[in-house]
Structure 1
Amino acid sequence: MDIKQKIEELRKALQEHNYNYYVLDSATISDFEFDMKLKELQELEANYPEFYDATSPTLRVGGMVTKNFETLVHEHRMYSLDNSYSKEDLEDWEKRIQKILGDVTVEFTCELKYDGASISLTYEDGKLVRGLTRGDGFQGDDVTNNIKTIKTVPLQLRGDYPSKFDIRGEIVLPFEAFEKMNLERIENGEEPYMNPRNTAAGSLKLQDSALVAERPLECLLYSVVGTNLGLSSQYQVLEKTRNWGFKVPSVAKLCKTTDEVMEFVEYWDIHRHELPYETDGVVVKVNSIQQQEELGYTSKSPRWAMAYKFKAEQVSTVLEEITYQVGRTGAITPVANLTPILLAGTTVKRASLHNADQIEKFDIRVGDTVFVEKGGEIIPKIVGVDLIKRSENSLPTQYIDHCPECHASLVRTEGDAKHYCPNEYGCPPQITGRIQHYISRKAMDIEGLGGETVELLFKEGLIENYADLYTLTKEQLLPLERMAEKSAENLINGVAASVNIPFERVLFALGIRFVGETVAKKLAKAYKNIEALMEASVKELMTVDEIGQRIAESVVGFFGNEKNLEILKRLRSYGVQFELSADKLLNQTELFKGKTFVVSGVFEKVSRDELKKMIEDNGGKVGSSISSKTSFLVAGDKMGPSKRTKAESVGVPIISEEDFLEML
């Protein structure tokens, strides 16, 4: 047998044993035999580097060192899930689904929600080519070298897999392995890790992949994204991906009703503690992929999936002090400073009290013993007071009436739960908060500049608004604390590069109250440039899809402020983008302005997403359900009969894919 054949046979044998042991949980050889084969392969590969293979099992021992993790854009966005906490929430969700889909049968796939670090793996021709962290959902960090060391991540797939796809899952650390790691740390005189989830997430960002290889991480996969994948249901996704070599949890159930979903939820709410991993709920998905595509997404979440969160863990502790934070919009948030307590694996010292109404509702007072839980298992919140333990000398909380930072008198408009500091241009946290928002990843994404540096630059009198960033010089920066020459260069280069950020993100970066990412995109698309937007009235703005009176008044108010106009003038002079690029404007018309389309069924010439994009690029709106305001129903193959019936009953024209393309 020649060397190349010997190497290939060893690789194939090791991959098979790895799959049997880690995916099927059925070892076919001893650990010793496996280690001997792996060692033999390592020696052969070292002696014959010409036979290198990026999917070799030897890569699982690590050794690659990554100094800086490159940030890459997800080809398919990683959305977050909406949460539910009751059967009523699920039933309301089901009603919303049925309203969009019409009178069709909907089945649900229920899966456990594992609490780990989200990951997206890209496979091409059956080989792992990339592993990205979730990041902000739009882009994540490239941790491919570290991912390759995880035994339950196949480097080479088996069977009939698509030529290219992304698969999503969670990197988890089993309880048993976590406890073993902590025992070793304690024996070595080191601090134990706090919880499995954070340890798993931290492991992915270790620079030395050999250290990652020492950690018994696992990867549990649950969904596939891509085009032309040949998959018809979520339940089929779970079965198929398991056959391709992925570790897919077998705890999943196909349910026909929300009653069956709740049976699954109630069973695992009790039995989840028997599982080897951390879980915090159940993910319920519409089973049909076609129905998923028809339901689509909101700006943040898929409409076809819902996370049912198990009841949060609750602890009691003492409220030592109430302090007040000022946000970038001037909103005042009261914060409870607590006697530190362990909650859901982390030490909690502070919790949000939200607003004055919340304090009044629970009659929360300093010195009270309060009940704390994690809202959505993430943000600690106070949910009640133990009145039995309240001191006789306790005094009701008097909410502040002056800003804790600049001492301006607070204001509170009717119908608003929050108090605000009106000193927009003289209150330090508002000034630095706006600049920090401007430089953030989803806004101008200025590398080399962080929140602490913004605070320092403001404190030293070098910046008072985000336009001042563009006039900073290396000579001004070098005397600052912890600012070396390279750091100063990176900051200045990062600011200079931000002039290439597209208009819709610039609009979000400006920090106009109520104008988030989605609203900024809609306004940029509707008005094309900042001049047109500045001239728009409240009434005109409200004609834009999803722009209500509150947003419209905020936009008009922002552009009516002389200080803002001066800052915008300066930004333009520095080259910041204040109009949509030529690429964005290409193929965009007003052909469908004022028209709403509902898209349903399966299409041949273009995909559903491409069809929706064509509608929006030509000034139209894509609706989710049929009403008297719908202009056209674009009907594809396998469209539900109820959609056709509803369209006919309200007189909505039904057109085919060919009809639509002819309209263009």
Structure 2
Amino acid sequence: MPVADDEDSDRDDDGTEANPYLHDPPTEFEPLEELSKDDARDQVDLLREAIREHDRRYYVENDPTIADRTYDALFARLSALEDEFDLSHPDSPTRSVGGEPLEAFETVEHVAPMLSIDQSGEVEDVREFDERVRREVGTVRYVCEPKFDGVSMEFVYDEGSLERAVTRGDGREGDDVTANARTIGSVPQRLHDDPPAHFAVRGEVYMPKDEFQAYNRERIERGDDPFANPRNATAGTLRQLDPTVVAERPLEVFYFDVLDASELEETHTEELETLPTYGLRTNDRVERVDTIEAAIDYRDRMLEARDDLPYEIDGVVIKVDSRDAREELGRTARHDRWAFAYKFPARAEVTPIVDVAVQVGRTGRLTPVALLEPVDVGGVTVSRASLHNPDEIEAKNVNVGDTVRVQRAGDVIPYVEEVVEKGSTGHYELPETCPVCDSPVEREGPIAYCSGGLGCPAQLRRAIEYYASDDGLDLEGVGERSVRQLVDTGLVETVADLYGLEREELTDLEGWGETSADNLLAEIEDSREPPLADFLSALGIPHVGPTTARELAREFGSFAAFRERALEEPAELEDVDDVGETVAETIHDFFASEANAAVVDALLEHVSPQESDLEAGGDELEGLTFVFTGSLSEVTRGEAQETVEAHGANATGSVSGNTDYLVAGESPGATKQADAEENDVPIVDEAEFYELLAEYGIEGGLE
């Protein structure tokens, strides 16, 4: 085990050996193979003790004594020792990196009720609270604290070690999220100093505002929907079943109430002074006051400071300081009678822009999105707003730091209407390269596009979703959630990777069973010989949807002929119905892109688009709508769709009240069948489908 160079420095005042990892620790260590298990155990104990102290200095005191790189080296050494010598322990600091995914959260009862707080935004209600308190228990002092806008939780310690962490739930019981809580840096696995043997404390888990905006920016840029506000982001993170996911997200905790303990302080002030000595982080904005008017003044000062705080608050909490007075005041079924929340008014429509994220859509279109201080717009909390395009940004002269008015129409994304107060110079300008793949950004009028095509990771997920959608190859089971899983786990890096998925890989994913995996693989296998029109639409070529794809298939007959013409003589595409000069150029640019060409070539190794002899066959089925599910034995599902469309019918990918027939082949999708039954849509098998066509005079239409 390494020791300090200065012989006198490795002894404490009482002569015992000091911890060499507390002050100016070494970062070079003996090889693991040279250590005995006893030596390793001794080193592990010292490292755990030191890392806990460094965590306390960092999270509680905000005064770290070692560099981040040094801390990382100590942490890595501890992790390596635990793994090599099988010395893991539940309260080790290494538990902060996560653990095995959970199947579900267990519901457990709180050690003491976690009730809500009576609240109001009216000052007279606050004064009435004070009058009632003084009438019942006499003169009191109050402790005033920020009302954090996060997720309240109970943390229970037994003999100093974290036993469990539980969400508030209904106040009587909540979800046991201990595995997730262990990953939060400001949650000590073991308390410092000399805590009571049994100790339960209430804390607020939150996401700092700057971290929230950075996290939302990442989500937007990779194509995910952002969280509405930091509280939603925190709650969504704590509900994750995989602790390693939680460990990657920037959560913090403030502790503010002792719920139960084998030894209790006489006042709340004394409790708050004691918590940091145990390594539990408290808020530095807490004040004790003598009168309710001083508490009201505190609230007004916090309202002015609200925007400058690194965390979200939506008011202040006024608490009786004396524990005896609290016991005398008691509680109702819903809230403690010794506390009152004096709420802030909601921010209304006007708010500052703290950042701008650039979202890359399926077609490569770049959409600038303003990230806002959360604001109330029409009763809905809004933290993002569209800036539309570069021309709109320039016209409104809007930039990061400006205070803007936000509008919201219906359920569409809110938008920045105007700049109310200029806090910046000039207007925001889009980057010259894609923020995701670094490909050059190109302009088409007011619209900006990433030129990376299907090789851009941001476009990949949405490209896969579209490839499998109703307008593509209609692969039931390949939706937004499953695509995110496949991409995030690295199983799918291009659209073509869908065809290399294996059963065992799918069943290892959360939420997947053998049946769902088999159904998906059957859907993918059935798509290897798609109709040309479906394949062209599935590629996601800008401006080429199902209708245009059918016209192109009818005109060129084969994919090779179409691709050759698109690359060499794009002007000739203009002779096709629904294709003008702009669409023709877009098709040419799509196939001219090296990234797109590589993806298409990879797809063609697995997929053989069928040559099309699609011709108008009449209007015998006009007005009818068909949906197909499962595999057909005589023809492919796409060929059946082409046939009914050629005779005037509509072929859609999902069942609704407007559907006339659901055609179910082998291994049909359960969702479509359930939707058909719910909407009283007739379900016909393959033989009945052919009989139906014959009834309409369509003979040999599938040959």
TM norm structure 2: 0.45
TM norm structure 1: 0.48
Which protein is bigger by CA-based radius of gyration?
A: 2
- Structure of greater relative contact order (alpha carbons < 8 Å, 6+ residues apart): 1
